[in-house]
Amino acid sequence: MTLDPEDLRLAVYESFAEIGQPPAVATLAVRLATDPEVVRRGLRELHQQRHVVLGAGDEILMAHPFSAVPLGFAVMGATTLWWGGCAWDSFALPHFVSDHEVLVSTRCLGCGAPHAWIVGEDGPPSGDQVVHFLVPAARMWDDVVHTCRNQRVFCSTPCVDAWLNSTGQEAGYLMSLETLWRLAQHWYDGRLDRGYKRREPSAALDYFRGVGLKGPFWGLQQRVTRPTRSSALSIPGEGESLVERRHASAECIDPHMACMLGRPGDQILSRVNGKLSQVRWN
Ligand SMILES: [Zn+2]
Ligand SMILES: [Zn+2]
């Protein structure tokens, strides 16, 4: 028996979109009029092509932006409840499912505080929380469940720092809720349509650049503005790096954030409302 992989992919996505969960293999076999073994083989092919993510027992864990397992976020629509995947995936859902507005909720890994936003299609939710991605774009698919589990929203940069220190991890990339919303807005366009093709790497880079992401974390070039010895601080122009840290471990540069990741004692140059200023972490 043959099975069109696109029929299988769409059946998985439609189930996630409608009921928040993936279909069982037996359900897929009935729906697609084929054998469970053919379905399993088809799912493994979709896994190879990164359309779905299977677990150790070939169960469907994810079909981005959907997740069958909790990764830190819950997303509530009018009649459907989804595990939200990561921050990126959770913010993508209102652009992707028939609900044009959803409630996204999570907890800060630094202090445990709850956070929730109404996320819709028209613009980013308000909020001064910060988003931290741990795994650089080039390695996101090494272990994509680990990657998604570590794309989270925190109260503030001190909460990110507290979590990194307590887990012994290197800093990744920080962005604002606004940048997260723009990243999520069109990333998954077309995945519910027949004939969907994944973006070529160059198109992905253009997309990242277009939503305001910067630096090698995303595979993008980054220019760093350094203060000169004469202490005449040059004000970075648009698209230039805004922050210089004495010991830079993060590649975090986001034009919408006034204050970046740092450690106590760091001297940080930060642009606030267009003015470059020196800030010291306490
Ligand atoms: Zn916190
Ligand atoms: Zn994710």
**Domains of the chain, earliest start first:** 5-63 (1.10.10.10), 72-216 (3.30.450.410)
pTM: 0.78
Name the DSSP letter for residue 236.
Answer: P
Convert the pLDDT of each residue in 135-153 to its tens digit: 999 999 999 999 999 999 9
Going from the Cα of 204 to the center of ligand 1, the distance in angstroms, rounded, reads: 31
Q: Where do we find the tokens 């774009």?
A: 137
Q: How far is the CA of 115 from the centre of ligand 2 (A)?
A: 18
Helices and strands of the chain, counted as H and E runs: 8, 12
CA of 6 to the centre of ligand 1 (A): 42
What is the CB-side half-sphere exposure of residue 82 using CA atoms within 13 A? 36
- Give me the mean pLDDT over the 232-243 stretch: 39
CA of 89 to the centre of ligand 2 (A): 5
**Average pLDDT of the segment spanning 210-227:** 81
88 CA from centroid of ligand 2 (Å) = 6
Ligand 1 centroid from CA 241, angstroms: 26
Q: Token digits for 85?
A: 């995947």
166 pLDDT higher than 50: yes
Q: Quick one: average pLDDT of 43-72?
A: 96
What is the arithmetic mean of pLDDT over 5-28?
96
For residue 236, how far is its CA from the centre of ligand 1 (angstroms)?
30
Q: Give the mean pLDDT of 168-184.
A: 97
Secondary structure of residue 133 in the 3-state scheme? strand
Confidence of residue 222 (pLDDT cuts 50, 70, 90): low
Task: Tell how far the Cα of 125 is from the centroid of ligand 2, in angstroms.
Answer: 19
221: confidence class by pLDDT, cuts 50, 70, 90: confident
Burial of 169 (0-12, 13-18, 19+ CB in 10 A): exposed
Please list the residues that pair with 245 across neighbouring strands.
268
**Average predicted confidence (pLDDT) for the chain:** 84
Say if residue 273's pLDDT is above 50: no
Antiparallel, parallel or unpaired: β 101-107 and 275-280: unpaired
Q: Which ligand is nearest to the CA of 130?
A: 1
- Write down the pLDDT at residue 198: 87
Q: Decide if pLDDT at 206 tops 60.
A: yes
User: 121 C-alpha to center of ligand 2: Å?
Assistant: 19
Q: What's residue 238's pLDDT?
A: 39
Reading the block at residue 153, the tokens are 């929203």
Q: Is the pLDDT of residue 208 over 70?
A: yes
Least confident of 62-76, 162-176, 236-250: 236-250
The 10s digit of each residue's pLDDT in 245-258 is 333 333 334 433 33
Judge whether residue 275 has pLDDT over 70. no
